[in-house]
Chain A
Amino acid sequence: MVNYNAQLDRTFAALVDPTRRAILARLERDDSASVSDLARPFAIKLPAVMKHLDVLDDAGLITRQKVGRTVTVRLRPQPMRAALEWLRRYERFWSGKLDRLAAFAERKEADARRRSR
């Protein structure tokens, strides 16, 4: 469980940055891209892009493969699936609770109105 949460923290920490999300979106569209392709749309220098790629790599969200002088980057979506499942679990939990809270409060409201008549 602790490892699971550590992985979630890494996933969310990686996803919280707009540049990194843009990189992931690009990889989702194009399947794979070289580091210089990925850097092109951004107004930041290549080393900064490399740092973002390190964070994404540590979180397991991308893979990097070096062939000759070119590094090819690919999306690895599994950690995102875990993150999404975690959110859905919370949503189911609270959604059920709030439905019951609403039904309970509505009964109380009906009681209060009956008493004040």
Chain B
Amino acid sequence: MTQLTLIRRIAARPSIVFDALTTPESIACWWGPDAGPVLKAETDLRVGGRFCVRFRTLDGLEHESSGEYLEIIKPKRLAMSWRWTGGVEDSGESRIDIELRPVGDGTELTFTHSRLQDEDSRRSHEDGWGGALDKLQKHLAQD
């Protein structure tokens, strides 16, 4: 129903970024350790295959997220379902979409985390969820 989009320019070719996103050794390297160590990283990189990352945050709590690969177009696109599984938090199942676009020698990465529940809410979302958020932010700024 709502979504978060982040864009990063990375000075590395798309195939390197794609591997960094999908191989367990790489995930274990970049996921932590500012937030704490990665305890487990597993990926089964095929449509319908699962991934799982288990990590500990500095407050000593362990968290686990897992999901299923929904779309894999190497090295351009990756989509997966996402769910917090091992912790106190159950935010339901959401979706992550990652697009990698070559820009010069590097990559523009567009990351979208969404939990859109049906087509109708997606349309409404495109109509102006961003606008609604701006409004909220403005409102909160006045408090």
Taking Cβ atoms with an 8 Å cutoff, the residues of A that contact B are 1-2, 5, 9, 12-13, 15-18, 21, 24-25, 28, 77, 80-81, 83-84, 87, 90-91, 94-106, 108-109, 112
Contacts and interface: CB of A to CB of B under 8 A. Distances in A.
Contacts of A101: 8, 10, 17, 20-21, 30, 109
B16 A108 contact: yes
B111 A94 contact: yes
B128 A18 contact: yes
Interface residues of B, number: 44
A84 B140 contact: yes
A17 B124 contact: yes
- Taking chain A's interface residues, is the majority helix, strand, or loop, or is none over half, making it mixed? helix
Nearest to B125: A16
A100 B34 contact: yes
Nearest to B107: A105
A13 B111 contact: no
Given A16-B125, A80-B139, A98-B8, A104 B30 contact: yes
Interface string B4-26: 10101011110011011100001
Given A1-B89, A106-B10, 14 more contacts: A9-B1, A16-B124, A77-B140, A77-B143, A80-B136, A80-B140, A94-B6, A94-B111, A97-B31, A102-B8, A105-B16, A108-B20, A109-B13, A112-B16
Given A80-B139, A94-B6, A98-B6, A106 B30 contact: no
Given A16-B1, A104-B30, A21 B128 contact: yes
A90 B4 contact: yes
B4 A87 contact: yes
A11 B20 CA distance: 36
A91 B2 CA distance: 12
Contacts of A96: 34-35
7 contacts: A1-B88, A5-B92, A25-B135, A84-B137, A87-B133, A95-B6, A98-B6
B76 interface: no
Given A21-B128, A109-B11, A12 B6 contact: no
A28 B139 CA distance: 8
> Could you say which of A97, A99, A101, A105 has the most chain B C-beta atoms within 10 Å of its C-beta?
A105
